[in-house]
Structure 1
């Protein structure tokens, strides 16, 4: 009998693994609708859909292993990171998905709201929040929308040797800022940015990527705390925010 592994579980959704099958259960069926559509459009390897019975979606495991995990050094080779960069570039060069993406004004409003919550609850020193809010401003300029994954965490990109074998969890895919995907993948792994961009291309804006590191960490921390995750774990969001204080 196969063991049931809880990959992630919180009040909004849960993902279970049973052998080579991942079962995703989401309270909002629109997330699965979008995920299925995005995977069909993406020009890079994605998991095979086995069946769908709302609110559940079953997908096949992809070969290989994740590029890394947040809070630990990535064991993947520079060539594997470059391959991930090349795959992301193919995604960003693909036709836009036909649904709306994040609006700049909504991103700005969420950032301000989350910074206010962090300050009110004193979960970080005020100067850390202020400095990162200042850095995040660089990401709030107009962007040219591209097809982004939208939640390109390091655990969502799988490699086998130096080859990308699959990218999972597409429920946040939308038109958006290309630098957001690059920042999400390298969050907490800033030392691998050069390897990633070797495959992506030299036209990436490093200042905007750094700004998204701050912005994403500021915005995500409240949600993580409320859902039982620890943004203060080694290598995670609070460490990312504190590390910005060392920059000029």
Structure 2
């Protein structure tokens, strides 16, 4: 009998693994609807949907191993990172999904709220928050939307050798900023950006905006992570990303 492994569990959703099957339980049916539709549209490898009985979505495990995890060096080769970049480029060149993405005004409002929370609660030194808020500003520029994954963490991209075998967790997919996907994939692994871009290409890539998204994502995610049992102050994670930007100043 296969053991039941709890992969992720918090008060919004949970993911369990039983053998080669993942069971995703989400209280918001829109997340699952987006995930199923996005995986069907994406021109890159995605998990097979086995069945869907709300609020549970069953998908097959993809072969290979994740590019890595936040807070630890990535074990993947340069070629694997390059292959991931090529896959992301194919996604970004695909037709847009028909549902709306996040409005820039909403992103800016959330950024200001989360910065205020960080300052009011003394979570980080004020100069770290304020400097990263300045660095984040270019991410709020108008941009031509592309088909983005929306949560392209490196543990959502699986490779076998130098081949991408699957990209998982599509519930945040939408029209959006291409630089956001590139930033999330290299968050805490900035040294792998050149490897990623070797496959993605440098046309239309704005490194300043990628750096802006590193700051913006880390600023806006910190409270949620803290409230849901994660530690943004773990080595190599969000707070270290914010501190590293001070060294870039």
Q: What TM-score bracket applies, with the shorter chain setting the length?
A: over 0.9
Alignment of 1:180-199 (within 5 A): 180-199=180-199
Match of residue 81 from structure 1? 81
Normalized against structure 1, the TM-score is what?
0.99
Partner SS, residue 24 of structure 2: strand
For the residues of structure 2 that align with 1:181 and 1:8, how far apart are their CA atoms? 21
Q: What CA deviation, in whole Å up to 9, does each residue of 1:172-224 have, x standing for no partner?
A: 00000000000000000000000000000112111100000000000000000
Following the alignment from structure 1 to structure 2, what is the Cα–Cα distance between the partners of residues 166 and 39? 10
What stretches of structure 1 move > 4 A for 4+ residues in a row? none
Aligned residue in 1 for 2:25? 25
The corresponding residue for 1:156 is 156
TM-score, structure 2 length as denominator? 0.99
Alignment partner, residue 179 of structure 2: 179
Q: Distance in 1 between matches of 2:127 and 2:56?
A: 43
Q: Which residue of 2 aligns with 1:5?
A: 5
Match of residue 216 from structure 1: 217
5+ residue gaps in structure 2?
Answer: none
Q: Which runs of 5 or more structure 1 residues have no equivalent in the other structure?
A: none
CA root-mean-square deviation:
0.4
Q: Give the corresponding residue for 1:35.
A: 35
1:138 to partner: Cα distance: 1.2
How many angstroms does 1:246 deviate by?
0.4
Q: CA deviation at 1:158?
A: 0.1
Equivalenced residues, count? 248
SS at match of 1:165: strand
SS at match of 2:40: helix
